[in-house]
Structure 1
Amino acid sequence: MAELATLEDPKAREVNAKHGDDHGVNLGKLRALAKRLKTQQDLARELWRTDDTAARLLAILICRPKAFERDELDTMLREARTPKVQDWLVNYVVKNNTYAEELRVAWSADPDPVVASAGWALTVDRVARKPEGLDLGGLLDVVEAEMQDAPDRLQWAMNHCLAQIGIDHAEHRARAMDIGERLGVLKDYPTPPNCTSPYAPVWITEMVRRQHAT
């Protein structure tokens, strides 16, 4: 914890605060520290218990994803107060855990929109990597009915799912584009030059173009 404190950077904290994150550690330096520590599951659990965001991010980097039980991961997600901790927990730990599919189903239906957004993030991963057994049409039904009025983080995850279905599954592409156009979610999202807009019709069109270009 003392070493983490020395990595504190006021400018990094200011930038992170704009994204809802409450830490000031440069992530490159955090990753370098994790590389030095290597995998240490017991230390990872201790770091998580500190309730400190930087410590939790470090815990995620040095843990063994398969060492966590289902209920433990469920509790950790609900304790993960900031977007970065939640994103890393889902992407680096839960996706690589035996209970990923079970948690995906449970979280997607959770009344807490932050927990539900984690379920949808896991669904995006399945759409992209292992769509067999998923009801893609059913997912589009839910997106069509609920995305427009969903809270920000849940809306973002649903929109990503909509785009991913349109990008990867040609048979659903026209409907995904139509849903995106009618709902208009993230249509006016400020997008830097040379970056792809998260507005689903633009996102889908650009990614499909790149696939055909390679």
Structure 2
Amino acid sequence: METITTFYSWKGLFYLFIGLLALYGIIKIVIRLIENSAKKNLTNKQFIFWLRNSLFFYVPVAVIVFVLGFISINYITHSILILIIGIFGFPYIKNYLSGILFKSNPIVSKGALIKSKDLEGEIKQLMVLGMIVNTEYGEQYVNYKNIEEFGFTINSNKSSALRQTLYLKTILTQDAVLDILFDNPILNFEEKPSLKNGVEPEDLILKYTLESGATTQDLISFLNSKEIETKLTRKVN
């Protein structure tokens, strides 16, 4: 009886939190060890993907277990508190769960090309509540719930042509910058890069398509070596 009383207490909740956190850390360490030691064959890749997905789904399950432990301390008061938090936090919770389902899709990864309503570009970063996509108009933050609502298609072939935008700052003329670009094989000149003036006299807007295998970071490094400043804009939905 004393053991049960101890479990349904703040002390028991603390031990539960430590246990859940420790298990999360162990799973992450196991994934890292397998990634570093396993041979890159199809079977191991599928197993690693399964482990990563288990980590995605472990977090919400652990939160539910912790919440149940919290409620068990004081059923009425804590249930009301959780209900209030759930009502106000529902949009964020829904967005988070949509993100788990989205990221657990085997064709979703950084560098893949995604197309949805009013969105087309390369996935740059997958975060907790949304992702950053590099589009023709710069970097765009997209909530997972929007992707779930409108649907999406993924093309994991990075060689697919994608028109992108980079913002430059330089004292060079447009012709001089284009001459520099033509001296480098990073860009796909079947779809010629274009430059237009920005707000300030030294600002230029570059629209370009990369060659297969090249990355935006390669282009940025090249331009920076020519003393041309670069930046990506962020557009929030």
TM-score by length of 1: 0.27
Greater per-residue strand proportion:
2
Larger Rg: 2
Greater per-residue helix proportion:
1
